[in-house]
Structure 1
Amino acid sequence: MKVKQISVFLENKHGRLAEVTRILGTNNINIRALSIADTTDFGILRLIVSYPDQAYRVLKESGFTVSTTDVIAVEVKDEPGGLAGVLEILQQVNINIEYLYAFIQKATNAALVVFRVEQLDEAITVLQKNNISILSGNQVYKL
């Protein structure tokens, strides 16, 4: 139920993001979701891709500082309050969310929310007990 996320350290220089996406595209790696957080000097690009191990390798070989992190991908009803319900479940058991990002899946009429939490296994267990749909890595990589 864990999804492997690729994180890339990017200097705030012209063309760095384009270079990452070009490298992934050249290697037939499709981006499924992404988020970027930046400061004045650098950014952290977080990616869910079709082939995370290959993405890690080709980006590392291209000189990027790359790491992997386990995250969870949760299907949330695409309706007002859908995300709030999931967040309340985690809050009730004191699971802190470090960050999240989301996108809509038109085919299922649901949002897919990617969570990075401190207690990953506990979060998976509590969400499953509350009938929250958690996608496996393979499911997300193939979206």
Structure 2
Amino acid sequence: MKIQQISIFLENKSGRLADVTHTLYEAGLNMRALSLADTNEFGILRMIVDNPERAKEVLKAAGFTVNIASVIALEVPNSPGGLDNILQMFSQKGVNVEYMYAFASLCDDKAVLIIRIDNTDLGIQELQACGCTLLPQSKILK
């Protein structure tokens, strides 16, 4: 089960991140998860939002470079070894993790992992085969 993530290329200068969040706020769009990786000159902001197509539209209109990518969202135990089990399985199957980020739920003992891998379809197949709970976009946004 694939979900949609937006990625925004940002100049690494004061106020650019605030410009993104304000643009989304003005459009009535909600962010559920995000990750920011940067260098001295630029950054990549990755986000799960409630309407990726609309977010892409309003951000492009505001002058940002935006891309939508398919990622996987899955529940992992929020305990020692929860992430390791997933990564060991991927390693054994030859699946490369390009990047990931996670957020913990305060309501239960699970964390949600957002992961981008080199072979999404194979990754989904292997995760389902080992009984992992994959989450649809609608579940992430609750």
- Give the TM-score, by structure 2 length: 0.97
Q: Does 1:122 align with 2:122?
A: yes
Give 1:25 shift.
1.0
**d(CA) in 2 for partners of 1:75, 1:89:** 15
Q: Does 1:35 align with 2:35?
A: yes
Q: Does 1:21 align with 2:15?
A: no
**Unpaired runs of at least 5, structure 2:** none
Q: How many residues align?
A: 142
Q: Does 1:113 align with 2:113?
A: yes
The Cα offsets for residues 11-62 of structure 1, whole Å up to 9 and x where unpaired, read as 0111000010011111111111000110110000001111111101000111
**d(CA) in 2 for partners of 1:36, 1:4:** 17
**Residue equivalent to 2:61:** 61
Give 1:107 shift.
2.0
**Residue equivalent to 1:82:** 82
Identity of aligned residues (%): 46
* AA partner of residue 23 (structure 2): I
**d(CA) in 2 for partners of 1:106, 1:132:** 20
- Give the TM-score, by structure 1 length: 0.96
Q: How does 1:93-112 map to 2 (within 5 A)?
A: 93-112=93-112
C-alpha RMSD of matched pairs (Å): 0.8
Matched residue of 1:121: which SS?
helix
Give 1:65 shift.
0.4
